[in-house]
Homo-oligomer: A and B are copies of this chain.
Amino acid sequence: MTNIKAVAKRAGVSPSTAKRAINEPEKLSPALLHRVLQAIKELDYEPDLTARALRQGHTLNVGFLVPDLVEPFSAQLAQEVSVRLQHTPHILLLANSSHQPDLERHNLKRFSGQRISALIIRPSYGSGNLDYLLKMKDKGTYIIEVDHHLPDSPFDHVMLDHEQAIRLGLDHLTALGHTRIACLSTPSREGLLAGRTLMFEREMAARGIPVPPLYREINRHSTEDAYRFTRHLLGLPDPPTALFVLGGLELLGVHQGIQDAGLSVPGDISLLAFDEDAWTSRMKPGIDGIEQPVGMIGETLVRQVLKNTPAPVEPLQLKLPGRLIQRGSCAPPRGR
């Protein structure tokens, strides 16, 4: 492995001088600087980040932990974060907890052992891992929650205003005259209503619209479960006249459920979703949805990570390709 010592030797300087050529080049005499850079190029030396991490006590890596990566929101978010981190010295460590607190903790441990400098986490419900997150914070990891935040957690967080979004959706449905409204939603642990489901219930109560017990069911986060539950709902003596899909994975199953029941949207039943997939706009009819500002969320996450993380300026020298867009303003010269 070619290390800084080899470079120093070749340039005829001490290791510390050679390192300075990289980290504080302005402090070197031009002649030496040139010689060292030359040696670096000849040996194509690349600093060992693991050694650096050991010495500094932390890496420049950012953990990204979500319950599920297929879920459109998480997938889009990963993309947003990944693209924006591209132009920083940080690297993204990806893991998913499959909606299981045990796996979440398992991954937190792995990240922690890796000495990540920041963690972006969509925490699972319940406060089971809050203690561990607090410990990580104490050790200097910057932690930011996304989409949901644990009760009493002291971390930064950024997320959709879920309450406002639910209200928006219910306004839409009630204005159309719906009262038999069912929601399909995120899983809940031990029978407790969770997240958006809870807000849905509260908001319905606030409007004085009852939610029949048969409309409520604890179902897990999956397309298949959503399908089954949809069929169940549509088969009831008093089926809902509108479905409000609160999670990103369920919509596909719901849509299929409606079709297989021989019903049509919106004639037989209204369908409202959290709009997290481009395809929903291609359906006929298009599916009404509530849009999440994923781009802004991603941008904020990365900005906060950068702000709260010690990172040397990375001399990224990138030549971006121009793109020729032909719209017709160019033609062969006259007379040819």
Interface residues of A (CB under 8 A from B): 1, 44, 46-51, 53-54, 57, 59, 61, 64, 69-70, 75-76, 78-79, 82-83, 86, 89, 91-96, 98, 100, 102-103, 106-107, 109-115, 135, 139, 220, 223, 252, 255-256, 259, 277-280, 282-284, 316, 318-321, 323
Contact = CB atoms under 8 A, between A and B. Distances in A.
Contact of A83 (B50, B98, B102): B98
Contact of A252 (B109, B112, B255, B279): B279
Given A86-B106, A279-B279, 16 more contacts: A46-B112, A47-B113, A48-B113, A49-B113, A49-B115, A50-B50, A50-B115, A61-B114, A69-B83, A83-B96, A86-B98, A89-B110, A91-B93, A92-B94, A223-B278, A279-B280
Contacts of A86: 95-96, 98, 103, 106-107
Given A54-B54, A282-B255, A69 B79 contact: yes
A94 B82 contact: yes
A100 B110 CA distance: 31
A109 B220 contact: no
A279 B44 CA distance: 47
Contacts of A69: 75, 78-79, 82-83
A70 B77 CA distance: 10
A46 B82 CA distance: 28
Contacts of A44: 135
| This chain's copy number in the assembly | 2
Contacts of A70: 75-76, 79
Contacts of A255: 282
A255 B282 CA distance: 8
16 contacts: A1-B57, A48-B113, A49-B113, A69-B75, A70-B76, A78-B78, A78-B94, A82-B95, A86-B106, A91-B114, A92-B95, A93-B94, A102-B318, A106-B316, A220-B323, A279-B280
Can you list the 7 inter-chain pairs with the closest CB atoms, starting with the nearest? A279-B279, A50-B53, A69-B79, A94-B94, A49-B113, A50-B54, A92-B94
Contacts of A109: 46
A311 to B, nearest CB: 13
B91 A92 contact: no
A179 to B, nearest CB: 28
Contact of A283 (B103, B107, B110, B283): B283
Contacts of A318: 102-103, 106
A151 to B, nearest CB: 22
